[in-house]
Amino acid sequence: MRRPKPGESVTEGIEGDSEEALEEIRARAEAQADASDENEYGVLGKPFDRSSPFLIGFFGAAGVACAFVLAYIVVEAEQVLVLLGLAFFLAVGLDPAVRWLYRRGLRRWIAVSVVIIASLGVFAGFVALAVPVIATQASHFANAIPHYLHQLNKPGTQLGKLNAKYHIERDIQRLLRGDGTSVGEVIGVGKVVLDLLGSVIIVVLVTVYLLADLPRVRHGIYLLAPKSRRARMVLLTDEILDRVGGYVLGNILTSFIAGFGTWVWALAWGIPYALLLGILVALLDLIPVIGSTIGGIIVALVGLTQGLGVAIATAIFYFVYRFIEDYVLTPRVMKRTVDVPGLVTVVATIIGGALLGIIGALVAIPIAAAIKLLIEQIAAPRLERS
């Protein structure tokens, strides 16, 4: 076999496309590239001349095209990316519990299973409590429909006055006749329910996989930094992920307090479905700033069944509790977990809710904590040196 001369192509002088010709080309390539057992594909060649006008123009156009394609993908896959981000947030938030069990001697997959089963058990318990109550209330409402329709036909009643002004009975009859609009609305509601169910399944599955493989994910994040800056990258990444986990645990703590307080209050004042209302308020309180307010309004409305005085007392109770939660509980918990000032908490929640709704409000505080940490540790020192 003749070794190619420097600058000569490995295919020069070889004609045809037979197997022998391809073997000869590969042998020449191995010889010219100085391939060996330690360096199977040969040594690296000289870098391209990056000052070439052609390369500058090509890479500039390719960069613009890549940016356009990336923006297009983000816009088109926005919903999926939000679900994946929520799953990552939940996995990082549950990871401290998994690591705590792991340090107690459990294997990681067993610790993950325990945490997931416990989380799903809480959700299943809420559903088990909610469904019978909803079914009972729906049955009571269905039985009361004839009475309400009778009241609509009486001009002297409050419902009769509303019917004369807004034609409620006519709209109900049109809905019951089914002129096609109701069918479309039913299909639309069914599609929303199916989309919600699919989203929940995606979030749960991705959360489980991420939680089980989170050490490998963290290692992959570390490798994204240049070797010269990787040590600092590891420390900052660990601190950010730990703050996310601390925020989730702190938020669960304040939500438990809100739910327990609701349960005790409802039992004391005879408000029906005390346990269900407590779990509902605990879940709503996971949403910063507005969650406990919505829960308080719901409990106050249910309190109307026991009288106006109970509803007013319930509204006052939640006003006082919101004051205590906003100025005593949450600042202390968030100071110890994410180190975010109260003003930043409110602003971040409002912006997150405006951008991504409930999910944005939920993840806004840990994202603000991460940005605050990066500004303090990277941007601020550079500004001081400039």
Output the DSSP codes for 360-373: HHHHHHHHHHHHHH
Does residue 49 lie in a domain region?
A: no
Identify whether 386 is part of a domain: no
The answer on 135 and 3 residing in a single domain is no
Same domain for 220 and 267, yes or no, is no
Does residue 64 lie within any of the structural domains?
A: no
Confidence class for position 144, pLDDT limits 50, 70, 90: low
**Taking residues 144-151, what's their average pLDDT?**
64
Domain identity same for 329 and 350? yes
Q: Say yes or no: 173 and 266 in one domain.
A: no
User: Is residue 48 in some structural domain?
Assistant: no
Q: Where in the sequence is the domain holding 255, given as residue range(s)?
A: 230-381
What is the C-alpha to C-alpha distance for residues 240 and 366, in angstroms, rounded to an integer?
8
Instruction: Give 38's DSSP letter.
Output: S
Q: Are residues 181 and 247 in the same domain?
A: no
**Statement to judge: residues 241 and 215 lie in one domain:** no
Q: For the purposes of burial, counting CB atoms within 10 Å of the CB of 225, is it exposed (0-12), middle (13-18) or buried (19 or more)?
A: middle
187 plus 250 within the same structural domain: no
Q: How far apart are CA 285 and CA 292, in angstroms?
A: 5
Polymer length in residues for the chain:
386
Q: Is 47 a domain residue?
A: no
Could you tell me which of 298, 299, 284, 261 has the C-alpha nearest to residue 362? 284
* CA atoms lying within 13 Å on the CB side of residue 297: 5
For 156-166, what is the mean pLDDT?
65
Task: Please give the structure tokens belonging to residue 286.
Answer: 């996971």
Per-residue pLDDT tens for 23-75? Answer: 777 777 777 777 777 777 777 767 666 677 777 888 788 888 998 888 888 78
pLDDT band at 10 (very low <50, low <70, confident <90, very high): low
Domain edge (last residue) among 190, 224, 258:
224
Distance CA 100, CA 123 (A): 22
Residue 128 and residue 196 share a domain: yes
Q: How confident is the model at residue 146 (pLDDT cuts 50, 70, 90)?
A: low
What pLDDT shows up at residue 182?
52
Residues 287 and 311 reside in one and the same domain: yes
User: Does 240 lie in the same domain as 193?
Assistant: no
With a CB cutoff of 8 Å and minimum separation 6, the contacts of 347 are none
**Sign (positive/negative) of CA torsion 62, 64, 67, 68?**
negative
- Cα 135 from chain centroid? 30
Which residues, at least 6 apart from 352, have a Cβ–Cβ distance to it below 8 Å? 360, 361, 362, 363, 364, 367
Q: Can you spell out the DSSP letters for 55-80?
A: HHHHHHHHHHHHHHHHHHHHHHTHHH
- The whole-number average pLDDT for the span 3-20 is 66
In a domain? residue 213:
yes
DSSP 256: H
pTM of the model: 0.64
Do 211 and 250 reside in the same domain of the chain?
Answer: no
Residue 60 lies in a domain: no
- The count of domains in the chain is 3
Give the pLDDT band of residue 316 (cuts 50, 70, 90): very high
Residue 265 confidence (pLDDT): 93
Query: 255 and 218 in one domain?
Result: no
Residue 73 in domain = no
Domain endpoint, select from 175, 202, 224? 224
The domain boundary, picked from 191, 206, 224, lies at: 224
